[in-house]
Amino acid sequence: MRNSRYLLYLILFLILLTLPLYTGVYFLNVMDIILIYMALALSWDMLLRSGQISFGMAGLFGVGGYAAALLHLHTGMNPIVSIALGGGVAGALAWIIGSAVLQLRGMYFAIVTLALAEIFRVIVRNLPDLTGGPEGTVLPSAIFAGDSTRTYFLVLSVAVASVLASEIFQRTRIHFALTSIRNDEIVAKSSGIDVFKYLVFIFVVTSAIQGVVGGAYAHIYGFVSPEGSFSVDFTLLPIAMALLGGMHSTWGPVVGAVVLGVVSEFLKLQIPYGHLMVYGLIIVVAILFFPQGIVGTLGQKMKKTGSQ
């Protein structure tokens, strides 16, 4: 039984790997967007498993983007290295902020993260010499000179890395720590778990992922700006995707990203202003009626039929 599942994963992976052979540029670009949001949705869910919500994805995504773009621009370093460092910068910031704020969790942490995008936007706007100010900065060229196949492989590797990270969080002792912390901190503490240290660790790791994704995005589009790089899209969509697909799992955010990624392509054309409302509605409806999401609800239905 296990073997057939791994076979399925392998086939999927091979399909994804060979996509550029039989699809065109437009399709690959759509895949890029789906994979970027998938990585963000996964990283959001990974923190959620500890019981904490971050609304700061746009902020860390943008920080990673700016770091990667500016490092490349001012020091000429290899774009890939700059993307990795973008993740490092985001992780470092998360470490500082998390260490300060994670002593008080819940809504205090959540609202501080909500403010992150705004704060970073203000900082970026006020250091025009470094960051290009309100107009942003254009990079001399997009990464790989805009070659869509190599861009796709870059994004694919980031997404695969996120999936792997998520699975590691699900299958190792980290899963036990996360589940304990989320459900009952006192039991967690009494069983030897250093709750604060774990939470900071998870926040740093997930923020680093968001920074890497942001760095990749910046290089792919060759452009960073206060409005674009810190857009609320990067917080709203991943949350909607994770909730739609099902939280506390790897498959949930993946499925949610694919579904909503495809849907968003249509929506952008039909309703140019305000299509984001759909994602807000999805979040509201999911919390009210389907806290388990698609994957979770299906999983429960399968368990029920299985026991009959």
Q: Which residues bind another protein (CB under 8 A)?
A: 48, 51, 53, 55, 97, 100-101, 103-104, 106-108, 110-112, 114-115, 118-119, 122-123, 125-126, 172-173, 176-177, 179-180, 182-184, 186-195, 232, 236, 239-240, 243, 271, 273-277, 279-284, 287-288, 291
- Cα 268–chain centre separation: 21
Dihedral angle sign, alpha carbons of residues 10, 11, 14, 19: negative
- Strands (DSSP E) found in the chain: 137-138, 223-224
DSSP state of 89: H
Other Cβ atoms less than 10 A from the Cβ of 95: the count is 16
Residue 254's identity, in one-letter code, is V
Q: Which of helix, strand or coil describes residue 118?
A: helix
Residue 56 structure tokens: 């700061």
* Cβ contact 85:67 at 8 Å: yes
Q: Which of 185, 206, 207 is nearest to 196 (CA)?
A: 185
Residue 30 structure tokens: 């759509």
* Cβ contact 215:82 at 8 Å: yes
